């Protein structure tokens, strides 16, 4: 059974930083593309950042220059470093995996990030 367990969410003041972690199990982590998405009630889930098996990254324009996605294949973990947080970053953040070749994908349960003034 594939599991993606997020951690690191919480309350933070605007301008502050937070680091999210997603620990994967039940799969060969290194051959999966990974990503972070976020969702606010009443809105569509949106891509925040993604990182491929070769380490290439892509970011939403709204977080470019502030967020950094990274992965540690030895630890089966993907991270999202969030700096200069804004009120509009408040959302539930979800970890995502997609096998590099097979039609296999999974979502984590999500972790709440709340940015206050």
Asked whether the predicted pLDDT for residue 65 surpasses 90, the reply is: yes
Looking at residue 116, its pLDDT comes to 97
Looking at residue 42, its pLDDT comes to 87
pLDDT tens, position by position, 11-29: 999 999 999 999 999 999 9
pLDDT tens, position by position, 29-43: 999 999 999 999 989
Is there a contact between 22 and 34 (Cβ–Cβ < 8 Å)? Answer: yes
Q: Which two tokens stand for residue 48?
A: 């925040």
Asked whether the predicted pLDDT for residue 60 surpasses 90, the reply is: yes
Asked whether the predicted pLDDT for residue 4 surpasses 90, the reply is: yes
Mean pLDDT computed over 42-69: 97
DSSP string, 49-74: EEE-TTS-EEE-TTTTTTEEEEEEGG
């Amino acid at each position: 059974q594939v599991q993606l367990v997020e951690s690191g969410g919480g309350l933070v003041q605007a301008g502050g930083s937070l680091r999210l972690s997603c620990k994967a199990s039940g799969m060969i982590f290194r051959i999966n593309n990974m990503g972070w998405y976020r969702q606010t009630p009443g809105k569509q889930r949106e891509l925040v950042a993604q990182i491929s098996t070769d380490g290439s990254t892509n970011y939403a324009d709204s977080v470019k220059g502030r967020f950094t996605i990274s992965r540690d294949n030895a630890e089966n973990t993907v991270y999202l470093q969030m700096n200069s947080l804004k009120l509009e970053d408040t959302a539930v953040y979800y970890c995502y995996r997609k096998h590099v070749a097979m039609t296999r994908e999974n979502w984590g349960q999500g972790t709440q990030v709340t940015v206050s003034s």
